[in-house]
Amino acid sequence: MTSRSYAEYEAMFDLTELPGSVLDCCAGGAGFTAEAAARGVDAIAVDPAYELPAAELVDTVRRSLPAGGAIVDEHADRFVWKWYGTPAHKDDLRIEAADRFLQDVSIAPERYVPGSLPELPFDDRRFELVLSSHLLFTWADKYDQDWHLAALRELVRVSASEVRVFPLVQQGAGEPVTYLPELLTELEGVTAEIRKVPYEFQVGADEMLVLSR
Ligand SMILES: C[S@@+](CC[C@H](N)C(=O)[O-])C[C@H]1O[C@@H](n2cnc3c(N)ncnc32)[C@H](O)[C@@H]1O
């Protein structure tokens, strides 16, 4: 589980203004939902980890903070620092985001819904914008092509307008996901676009997938 900040989400998804309702699907310990809600957005986060008892969730979020750094150290030549500047700035953003998340979960638990792809506990077209960071494609070593197709269809089902997914490469060395083009041909009734974003951390991972309906 990771804790990306609102600033990272803004850059990864090239967000300017947020619409009235947003879902962060596979939000983990991210601070995005707390910050979006503070800006008056109907923001909901979903993650299987939200089934954990509160103390265990706090512990998981805190213990996960150094794990991201370990992956970067292991594949140091596969990361660039032009967006973060320094490892210390990245760590600060993640710690702040984890704090923001944990504070918000305790005061507004209704915003944090337990659930897993490819079956989400929301009505069709419930959210104007659906964001998904670092689950699809990132975890292609764990989830196969069929799972990805089902997951993308489910994200589209709960969106009224747009789904954005970042990044489009696998975790660690950032290998491309070879079946991505085939997946896009299998999504019916959806316009798929791969769009550049003003964020890069894994080398070459500066594109998001935008699905519109
Ligand atoms: C690397 S974290 C990303 C968290 C957050 N989006 C961020 O960018 O910091 C991936 C998250 O996906 C969640 N996850 C794993 N399997 C999932 C599934 N099948 N459906 C939804 N979320 C899942 C994990 O619990 C974890 O919190």
**What domains sit in the chain, N to C, each tagged with a CATH number?**
6-212 (3.40.50.150)
pTM of the model: 0.97
Instruction: Confirm if 152 and 211 have CB atoms less than 8 A apart.
Output: yes
35-39, 65-69, 108-112, 149-153, range with the lowest pLDDT: 65-69
Q: How far is the CA of 40 from the centre of ligand 1 (A)?
A: 24
> For residues 99 and 75, what is the distance between their CA atoms, to the nearest angstrom?
27
Does the pLDDT at position 68 exceed 80? no
82-107 residue pLDDT tens: 999 999 999 999 999 999 999 999 99
Q: How many residues does the chain have?
A: 213
Place of tokens 């996960």: 64
- Which of ligand 1's atoms lies nearest the C-alpha of 138? 1
Q: How far is the CA of 100 from the centre of ligand 1 (A)?
A: 17
- The mean per-residue pLDDT over the stretch 30-45 comes to 98
Instruction: Confirm if 94 and 66 have CB atoms less than 8 A apart.
Output: no
Mutate to test the pocket of ligand 1, among 26, 163, 197 (most ligand atoms within 8 A of CB): 26
Pocket of ligand 1 (CB under 6 A): 1-4, 26-28, 30, 47-49, 116-117, 133-135
134-143 residue pLDDT tens: 999 999 999 9
pLDDT at res. 59 = 95
